[in-house]
Structure 1
Amino acid sequence: MNTVVLPSVTELSEAEALFRFQTEAPETVRTALGMSGTRMGGGVVLSMNNDVTHFWSKALGFGVTAPVTAELIGEVCDFYRAQGTPQAVFQIAPALLPEDWAEICAREGLVAQSSWSKLVCPVDEAVARALDTSPDGIRVGPLAADRALEWGRVQMRAFGMPPERYPEMPTGTVTQPGWHPFAAWLDGELVGTGTMFVRGETAQMFAGAVLPHARNRGGQTALLAARARLAQELGCVWLIAETGTEEPGTHNSSLHNMFRLGFEVAYERPNWRWTAAGEDKEA
């Protein structure tokens, strides 16, 4: 299979999902975590000032409807300074970077760190391959709205996020249009989560994870398969996903689970770290 999906499609799918995920969090959580977000230059800029994980402040989706320029990146950094954001990550598809990107990075103190793999898969391909998957004792199904907080706790625990406030963040999406949350159960215990954001012909896979004691049973694959089947029912054409790039000597189970269902790596995208204090300029 040779899957070709334009970066403009994959980047906007992820950007819109992440923007909605954070801006639809309950207001009490947004205030406690210092969350804010805006649209700029065709992309989205998200800030979480009180984020001890340094994961959620991100700028992405650029280069699609407007070019990436020094002025745009400067405006984004100014936004972060105005918000008091300690640090943030810029995520831009390599094909959408300008020729003077190195100069822009030097001016704003952006430093390349780890990379993410951007994955795509035709919906019909994933659904067909899902017929050959069979989880061991795991049951997967749509999430009931009254289980939202429990679902959020499992999601954040599976990703290693703090147990205070963070579990409340995803609960706002559970009943919002466009979102389709699923859960995985083992012997009646909610042990896995995954949601999907549908935008046009794309279905963005989001927040798929299983608690450590329930792993290696096919739960994450089953969560992917269930969402793929729903995406097919909804008329979607493409599944979009991201995960950490597998470095030499490491094994990313999430990546291989997606390979099993027919996902292919469209490209690898570096994470460009910006810090308010400017330490990275000296690196």
Structure 2
Amino acid sequence: MPEPYAEQVAEWSDLAERTEAMAMQRMMLHQSPETIELLGVSAPDLADGVHTVVVRDPMWGYWNKALGFCSPVDETTVAEAVARARDQRVPAFAIQVQPRAVPDGWSAIVERHQLTEGTMFVKCFGGAEPRDVETDLRIGRLGPEDATSFTHVLCVGFGLEETEEAHALFDGPQYFDGDWAAYGAYDGDRLVAAARMLVVPETDAVSLFGAATLPEGRNRGAQGALLDARIREARDRGIRFASAETWLEAPDNPNPSQHNMRRAGLTEVHTRPNWVWRNPDVG
């Protein structure tokens, strides 16, 4: 790898980590006081990253993460995250450490704190450009009046139970305005796919996440078109970069999202696993 390109990827790795961590933190801190109380939400800084906590997470613990690290993660940082999760009786959480932030002796830290290696994710970042995407669906920007339908699509698309807690986490009108935006794909008047974005001015990037599709909307170009719509809005706002992540595909487990991100011009800057801690005191 040429040295200038290697330096750029290293810089983008850090920007990708910071963008996601800030997006996760703002997703937590922008919740209403009622939702914070209902779900047990908090998002303190942790070393140079963030630790997001949703004690009663309707998404299987997805939002319980320590991430965004650009400097080596020392044992004190891991111990602080584990202690917080234990004190708040979180069933489990994941520490995500990019390769450049893995410290010497990481395997010993993992063993001492009883972390297990879980799903591998790929971080994607770069100066994505709008492109023409073929779809027979109508793409439109969503507003607060679409919040219930948005959450329905997320729940069905991800296989979640559509509960009061899920709607509390995702329905907030604040997530359709300002630095936040959401887009949907329609089959006639029916919303069949949706995706969310957050502009992160500190990294000059848009964080792309929350993408899901109903079964009847799949294999119709919905997510490629929603990816393009969000990149276009980011460009219109003067944002240089786009940031996203998805699980790393394998020969026997293809991932269309990873291909969509490549086609949009994003660079796969690094992979990193979930290092999962499970609370022995919570059944």
- Normalised by the length of structure 1, the TM-score is 0.89
Q: Distance in 2 between matches of 1:54 and 1:247?
A: 24
Aligned residue among 24, 37, 61 for 1:54: 61
Report how many residues are paired. Answer: 270
User: CA contact under 8 A between 2:12 and 2:126: conserved in structure 1?
Assistant: no
| One-letter amino acid of the structure 2 residue matched with residue 170 of structure 1 | F
Q: How far did residue 189 of structure 1 move?
A: 0.4
Aligned residue among 11, 14, 29 for 1:23: 29
Q: What whole-Å deviation, never above 9, does each CA across 1:160-183 have from its counterpart, x for those lacking one?
A: 222002133122242453112111
Q: Distance in 2 between matches of 1:55 and 1:146?
A: 26
Structure 1 residues 23 and 176: alpha-carbon distance in aligned structure 2, compared to 1, 3 A threshold: farther
* Identity of matched residues, %: 30
Q: How far did residue 55 of structure 1 move?
A: 2.0
Corresponding residue number in structure 1 for 2:222: 219
Corresponding residue number in structure 1 for 2:70: 63
Q: Distance in 2 between matches of 1:121 and 1:208?
A: 19
User: CA contact under 8 A between 2:12 and 2:125: conserved in structure 1?
Assistant: no
Corresponding residue number in structure 2 for 1:80: 85
| One-letter amino acid of the structure 2 residue matched with residue 7 of structure 1 | S
Q: Distance in 2 between matches of 1:167 and 1:183?
A: 17
Corresponding residue number in structure 2 for 1:251: 254
Secondary structure in structure 1 of the residue aligned to 2:171: helix
Q: What whole-Å deviation, never above 9, does each CA across 1:54-105 have from its counterpart, x for those lacking one?
A: 32211111234xx421111111111111111121111111111111211211
- Normalised by the length of structure 2, the TM-score is 0.89
Aligned residue among 219, 232, 235 for 2:235: 232
Secondary structure in structure 1 of the residue aligned to 2:180: coil
- Structure 1, unmatched stretches of 5+, are none
**Structural mapping, 1:1-283, within 5 Å:** 4=9, 5-51=11-57, 53-64=60-71, 67-123=72-128, 126-127=129-130, 130-131=131-132, 133-136=133-136, 138-164=137-163, 165-172=165-172, 173-200=174-201, 201-277=204-280
| One-letter amino acid of the structure 1 residue matched with residue 146 of structure 2 | R
Q: Distance in 1 between matches of 2:267 and 2:73?
A: 26
User: CA contact under 8 A between 2:119 and 2:273: conserved in structure 1?
Assistant: yes
Q: Distance in 2 between matches of 1:183 and 1:169?
A: 18
Q: Distance in 2 between matches of 1:180 and 1:243?
A: 20
Q: Distance in 2 between matches of 1:177 and 1:82?
A: 34
| One-letter amino acid of the structure 2 residue matched with residue 29 of structure 1 | T
User: CA contact under 8 A between 1:178 and 1:197: conserved in structure 2?
Assistant: yes
Structure 1 residues 153 and 30: alpha-carbon distance in aligned structure 2, compared to 1, 3 A threshold: farther
Structure 1 residues 96 and 55: alpha-carbon distance in aligned structure 2, compared to 1, 3 A threshold: same
**RMSD of equivalent CA atoms:** 2.0
Secondary structure in structure 1 of the residue aligned to 2:251: coil
User: CA contact under 8 A between 1:181 and 1:195: conserved in structure 2?
Assistant: yes
Q: How far did residue 278 of structure 1 move?
A: 8.3
Q: What whole-Å deviation, never above 9, does each CA across 1:215-246 have from its counterpart, x for those lacking one?
A: 11101001000011111111111111100100
Q: Distance in 2 between matches of 1:186 and 1:20?
A: 31
- Structure 2, unmatched stretches of 5+, are none
Q: Distance in 1 between matches of 2:29 and 2:271?
A: 27
